[in-house]
Amino acid sequence: MRYAYYPGCSLHATAREYDQSTREVCGALGIELVEIPDWGCCGATSAHSTSHLLSVALPARNLALAGSMGLDITVPCAACYQRLRYAQIELEQNEAVREKVARVTGTAYDSKVDVKSLLEVVVGLAPETLKSKIVRPLDALKAVCYYGCLLVRPPRVTGFDDPEDPQIMDNLLRTCGAGVLDWGYKTECCGASMGISNEEVTLKLVRDILRVAEKAGADCLVTACPLCQNNLDSRQTHVNRAFGASFEIPVLYFTQLIGLALGIEPGRLGFNSHFVPTDKILKLIT
């Protein structure tokens, strides 16, 4: 199984451990990732907040690059995934946009590549493939899966799971033996880039999410988005300061937990790079 791999800007910097753990886990599971050569930024929220055409044209270049590789794309970052997938749909269904994108990029778009989130790709494996490779089951761990916004919404664009109560990450971690808890904040918003531009809003949203996770009895939160991970992990001390709280909940990428279950060394999964210490998680598992 081969995919054109689109890491996105964060995975080369603030979410390096998501990139690391993605490569490790995919390697162990026989998913071959070929990084799209010279990929560019998807434009993220700033593009679609300022120009619809720009928000399709920037991803279109990446779709075309993958098209020339003849491979479907997989994207670990929820935000990049949603932007690439949105562009794919617009280019397929909206002739006027397709024509304008051809004008601004200088190339006609005729790519037939599909865009899948990394979560979908891993879940799409035959269940035995993962099960048979688990050497360190996550039995002692109680986790809540946090999907955030862009993996599941809007369903017209993403559509691979229930937008209100998604299950695929839950099931994936259950396959790894983890005790996955039910909770009501799976798809609430973390405030995304407002962490930078309007932090009070982000802190309130993050506080709410952490509070519900704690009440559910979670040892950790599990994410599939670098922006969610950053806001929930690195801003926990800010939340504690702002609200007089004392949260200390590790926030992990789903690939980091699968990696542990597959017996991969924590260091190779980026376990040394969190803000909230992850020692207690590692102790539960090893």
Residues 6+ apart with CB under 8 A from 174: 180
Q: Which is nearer to another protein, 272 or 286 (CB)?
A: 272
State how far the Cα of 244 lies from the Cα of 159, in Å rounded to an integer. Answer: 39
State how far the Cα of 134 lies from the Cα of 137, in Å rounded to an integer. Answer: 6
Among candidate residues 85, 36, 34, 87, the one with its CA nearest the CA of residue 58? 87
Write each residue from 50 to 79 as x if it is in contact with another protein (CB under 8 A), else as -, in one continuous string.
xxxxx--xx--x------------------
Q: Which is nearer to another protein, 164 or 279 (CB)?
A: 164
CB 126 → another protein: shortest distance, Å?
A: 31
Question: Do 272 and 21 contact (CB within 8 A), yes or no?
Answer: no
DSSP 217: T
CA dihedral 158, 164, 166, 170 (to 10 degrees): 150
Residue of the chain from 4, 17, 22, 116 that contacts another protein (CB under 8 A) = 17
Write each residue from 236 to 265 as x if it is in contact with another protein (CB under 8 A), else as -, in one continuous string.
-x----------------------------
Write each residue from 183 to 212 as x if it is in contact with another protein (CB under 8 A), else as -, in one continuous string.
----xxx-xxxx-xxxxxx--xx-------
Question: Do 221 and 254 contact (CB within 8 A), yes or no?
Answer: no
Q: Which is nearer to another protein, 122 or 228 (CB)?
A: 228
Task: Give me the residues that bind another protein (CB under 8 A), please.
Answer: 9-10, 12-17, 38-41, 43-54, 57-58, 61, 100, 103-106, 149-150, 153-155, 163-164, 187-189, 191-194, 196-201, 204-205, 234-235, 237, 272-275
